[in-house]
Amino acid sequence: MHRVIFNQKGGVGKTSITCNLAAISASQGLRTLVIDLDVQGNSTHYLIGAVDAEQYPAEAQGVAGLFKQTVGSRSMRKNPDSFVWETPFDNLFLLPSSPYLSEIEKELEARYKIYKLRDALAKLDSEYDRIYIDTPPNFNFYSKSALIAASRVLVPFDCDSFARQSLYELMLNIEELQEDHNPELELEGIVINQFNGQARLPGELVAELQSEGFPVIDSFLSSSVKMRESHHEMRPLIYLAPSHKLTQSYIALHQALEKGVKKCRRS
Ligand SMILES: Nc1ncnc2c1ncn2[C@@H]1O[C@H](COP(=O)(O)OP(=O)(O)OP(=O)(O)O)[C@@H](O)[C@H]1O
Ligand SMILES: [Mg+2]
């Protein structure tokens, strides 16, 4: 199962959701891989900290190395799993991001390498029970590659008016991609992040989405400073604060996704 977490709007919670769901998956004994396709490398930093650039040149790192070899000789290509790194957490693995991703993006696009991630995932499939893909806040070569490679897409929504406005365009982009490249891609739903039940606006925005028929997932994620602490400590919530309210909502979300998502729709 390959799940991509995508929203072209920045700061909605893609990285937090990718890494925390993946960490819960790993803590439950599933061999889980996170793929960091964002040149910002936030998932990479969250799970393994700074990468030693001297030891691992940017062009050989993780996902950049994987893509780069697709423009080279076929006989020299390594197995995609050789670009995967261990993390300090049991059962949790990472295909790290690299600054080199921006440098090679134009070349990969010009050489039609958009299906290469899908080919790589087909090879990684037998090694991992779950694959989670973090994407950049753009509809660019890497996020398109992820949407083509994945079987499911989760869309984080941070209860903000700008995020609300960009949802239509986002849904059109996903539909176009499904139609042109990946009819198997299932929109699992919209994950409500940073929900504050005390404030008026988040409730109103979520009710609007539901009344317009957007597939909102029942398990909401609340807003908590624990998330920032978790990034700072480089420990996903399940390891940092297993009984915290936000961790518990993440566990509930994970469980809902594993069972097959329950969505609120307009009746
Ligand atoms: N549930 C939450 N409660 C409080 N803060 C949160 C929560 N989820 C995410 N954040 C904070 O919101 C900010 C953006 O989160 P995150 O980096 O996960 O978003 P993103 O969509 O990956 O951003 P980008 O588009 O830049 O990659 C971070 O500072 C993070 O700590
Ligand atoms: Mg991010």
For the chain, domains (ranges, CATH) are 2-261 (3.40.50.300)
Q: Is the CB–ligand 1 distance for residue 154 below 6 Å?
A: no
Q: Is the CB–ligand 1 distance for residue 15 below 6 Å?
A: yes
Q: Is the CB–ligand 1 distance for residue 16 below 6 Å?
A: yes
* Nearest ligand, CA 138: 1
- Strands of 186-192's sheet in order across: 85-86, 92-95, 32-36, 130-134, 2-5, 152-157, 186-192, 216-217, 263-264
Q: Is the CB–ligand 1 distance for residue 98 below 6 Å?
A: no
Closest alpha carbon to 180 in 144, 215, 154: 144
Work out the end-to-end distance of the chain between its first and last CA atoms, rounded to an integer number of angstroms.
30
Q: For residues 43 and 7, what is the distance between their CA atoms, to the nearest angstrom?
A: 15
Residue with tokens 């070349």: 107
* Nearest ligand, CA 222: 1
Q: What is the mean pLDDT of each run of 10 residues along the chain (267 residues)?
A: 95 97 98 97 94 68 92 87 95 94 95 96 95 97 97 95 89 95 96 94 93 94 97 98 98 94 41
Closest alpha carbon to 9 in 215, 166, 205: 166
Q: 73 C-alpha to center of ligand 2: Å? A: 32
Nearest CA to ligand 1 atom 25: 10
Confidence (pLDDT) at 54: 67
Confidence (pLDDT) at 7: 97
* Nearest ligand, CA 156: 1
Among 162, 190, 227, 248, the mutation site with the greatest number of ligand 1 atoms within 8 A of its Cβ is 227
> Within a 10 A sphere around the Cβ of 138, how many other Cβ atoms?
14
* DSSP code for 16: H
Q: Is the CB–ligand 1 distance for residue 11 below 6 Å?
A: yes
Q: Is the CB–ligand 1 distance for residue 20 below 6 Å?
A: no
Joined together, the tokens standing for residue 238 give 């399940």
Q: For residues 144 and 123, what is the distance between their CA atoms, to the nearest angstrom?
A: 19
